[in-house]
Structure 1
Amino acid sequence: MRYRQNGSEQALEADFVVGCDGAGSFVREALGFPFEGFTYSIRPILADVRIGDGRDELEWPRVWNGRDGPSVAIRLKDGLWRIIRLERGDPTKDDDVPEEEIGDRVAETLGDGPFAIEWANRFRIHLRSAPRFRSGRVLLAGDAAHVHSPVGGLGMNAGIQDAHNLAWKLATALQRGDVDRLLDSYDVERRAVVVEDVSTYTDVLTRLFLQVPSTVRAAAFLFLRLWLSFSGPRKLMIRRATMIGLGYEESPLLVRQDRAAGVRLPNPILRCPEGNRTRLYDLLPNAPVVL
């Protein structure tokens, strides 16, 4: 493998290469893999603003259900708020974010008053993935392999779980493990979880909450609030948001006849012979936890 550092070309020899270089991945492009999918007709805005009056004490998150899309305000720390606007529209239009537009979003969520912009940016929301996450000894992980809507907050977890899944398999392969079986399992397991499950889930949420009229969105917000008032749905939503409810039932490393195959191992409290209690994972410090 050759790369440039400090203006000169360097050579690096490695047993494996993992492309963790984001949505514009050089590694993915070098493999000749397309990034199949589409861009949503949404023009999102992120902005951090400073608030120096009584509005800084408002409860949050604060949501405004506008005709063209919702605006959200989240308090990051004293006097600093993150403003999120998810507006329907042509994503290829000018990326500039005028101060007046930020002012409208601040007024919607926090009320009228002075503010100072720390930074503001417009971005695009994509649903894309590589056709494979492995080609020989080259692998893709995180945004280099897949991107999806941020609705639901699953993007970072998906990338972290890619890395966790791949790390122990690479370590085992380097110790003369079955390279093909291990690395094939990474592709099968992570594509099933991220592309077939998480991406589909976030796509439904995006269309339901962002690409519908405000009246439909208001009804969806009301239903969600009522649904989450029950403990069962709350637990289900937590497992979905943390992605610990997803499994690898189709993994080539597992015996499919075993009903526990591919299911995340719980972490119950155990009673030790001495009478004290401990968590199962605390007894297995070196065992890989399936993510």
Structure 2
Amino acid sequence: MTERNSLSGFKKDENGVVWIWNYVGNAKIKIGYKVKKLLHHEQSKYQQISVVDSDGFGRILVLDGTPQISTFDGFIYNEMICHVPIVTHENPKRVAMIGGGDCGNAREAMKYKGLEQIDVIEIDEKVTEICHKWLTPSAVYEKDKRFKIIHKDGFEWIKENKNQYDVLIIDRPDPVGPGKKLFEPDFYEFVYDCLTDDGVVAFQSGSPYYNTSTLRRTFQNLREKFPIVRTYLVSIPLFPCGIWSFTLASKKWDPLQADLSKLEFQSTEYITPEVFKAAFALPTYIQEILDD
């Protein structure tokens, strides 16, 4: 495999070893992921999609040259973006997820028997197709009648759904390309309207180390709409600098008062009741970002 325009982010070193290089401008760092084998690559309508096999992270989904999730540590992201808002709500019935075409967070939601509807809204049908082949087998979902995937622009979809969902999970990409609309102020208004009167939403809100503006704007936009807004943290080895943030907003329920006896952690690999509570303890430098 040689470096070429059709494989963004991939480079071969002087020893013939292929790497994915991810440059993070805000952090002034460049992270390399050693590739054992390219399993899949194609250009969809929206982006370049690759799946690689690696020593350090197993299979990795790569979009436009940037690693997104891996089979070795993907459970961390999926568990923390999913379980926290579901458990925060007292009695959720309907859950929708914008993004997350690999459906890993839907798999976590299925652990909650009280849920009656689990919808995944993914703009790129090819992401779902490829992830079902290489990352999360479709057999995981085929037997669960609550699950439905909707291939549509999340921004357009949410405008059409008002007062429909108890829990929303916004697994949005970086604020570039089609995903940029999911960071605009209007989107937060549509999220609020999509939720029921006591609804809860969790946003992927970036690295608190090098995506400080993303985290700050997410928190501030949510504070303008919701009475309860809390950021929580997680450590994800795949991501540059390791630390990542999610921000939860709620019309009624406070995650700090959640009934953790409802947490379905018997088969999880990261989240426990103790981790749930500890995730909301913020270091001073992150609290200062939110207070700015």
Identify whether the pair has TM-score above 0.5, normalized to the shorter chain.
Answer: no
Based on CA coordinates, which of the two structures has the bigger radius of gyration? 1
Which TM-score band applies after superposition, normalised by the shorter structure? under 0.3
TM-score normalised by the chain length of structure 2: 0.23
TM-score normalised by the chain length of structure 1: 0.23
Higher percent of residues as strand: 2
